[in-house]
Amino acid sequence: MAGGYDTDIVTRLETNLDDLSPEITGAVMEKLLAAGALDVWFTPIQMKKSRPAVQLSVLCEEARAESLADIIFTETSAFGLRMEKIARLKLERRFETVTTKFGDISVKLGLKQGRIIQTAPEFASCLSASERTGQPLRAIYAAALAAYAAQP
């Protein structure tokens, strides 16, 4: 199935961590993102012997899987790692800049077959406007959405 969407194949690495301090688990997220992971996330899980553990999930391009696996084995307590190839459907991405009273904000657009079906103010752009103006992040988001909607 493609259905008008862009597609690709990515690799998902997963492991269950039941003997690693959360301090260290948290620091590993940064290392994996810095090394090129597309996404990294933690899921709370419950393992044997009443252990409140964590599942680490990493999404990456296949070419990066080996170097990211090396990081996981070196930096965490994992002795094993699950590896799956997964198809993805994706919107085409385009960026536009809108002008608000808080300054220019970048807006990410998602397109299916040339039609815009997603509009999302860029987090980094909103955050810097928030820091520059001292206004709440929520106000920046709302202004960016309003500015985009008001375009001809």
Map the footprint of a second copy across residues 30-69, applying CB under 8 A: 30, 33, 39-55, 57, 59, 62, 65-66, 69
Question: Residues 6 or more apart from 139 whose CB is under 8 A from it?
Answer: 102
The only residue of 70, 99, 113, 132 in contact with a second copy, by rule CB under 8 A? 70
Indicate the residue among 89 and 97 with the shorter CB distance to a second copy.
89
- 118 belongs to the binding site for a second copy (CB under 8 A): yes
For 27, the 3-state DSSP assignment is helix
Residue whose structure tokens are 């860029």: 122
Radius of gyration (C-alpha) of the chain in whole angstroms: 20
For the bound state, the minimum distance from the C-beta of residue 142 to a second copy, rounded and expressed in Å, comes to: 5
For the bound state, the minimum distance from the C-beta of residue 90 to a second copy, rounded and expressed in Å, comes to: 5
- 151 belongs to the binding site for a second copy (CB under 8 A): no
- How deeply is 47 buried, as exposed, middle or buried, from its count of CB atoms within 10 A (0-12, 13-18, 19+)? middle
Residue whose structure tokens are 């920046």: 140
- 110 belongs to the binding site for a second copy (CB under 8 A): yes
Residue whose structure tokens are 């680490």: 56
- 115 belongs to the binding site for a second copy (CB under 8 A): no
Indicate the residue among 12 and 133 with the shorter CB distance to a second copy.
12
